[in-house]
Amino acid sequence: MNEYGTIRIKLNELIQKVGISKNKLSHKAEMQRTQLNNYCNNKITRLDTDVLARLCTVLDCRIEDILEFIPPENNEENQ
């Protein structure tokens, strides 16, 4: 983790909670399966707002259901 914290993508957990298959989600959200897997495995370095909007629409969720901000561990020392 860096000094500013990090963003965690919780898509894998959300997919299981909603009960949709990755194949169905990738088709409905118009995504490549490899791109979806990268989101599921937190291997994205730049978030695409269009992709996030499609995921929220298909999964009927809010952006905070997909993304989580994890503050740096020593937050008080950095201020």
pLDDT in tens, the chain (79 residues): 478 999 999 999 999 999 999 999 999 999 999 999 999 999 998 999 999 999 999 999 999 999 999 999 864 544 4
- Domain positions in the chain are 6-78
The secondary structure of the chain, three-state, reads CCCCCEEEECHHHHHHHHCCCHHHHHHHCCCCHHHHHHHHCCCCCCCCHHHHHHHHHHHCCCHHHHEEEECCCCHHHHC
CATH 1.10.260.40 fits 6-78, yes or no: yes
> Tell me, what's the pLDDT at 79?
47
Residue 78 has a pLDDT of 44
Single pTM value for the model: 0.85
Half-sphere exposure of 34 (CA within 13 A, CB side): 0
| pLDDT on residue 45 | 87
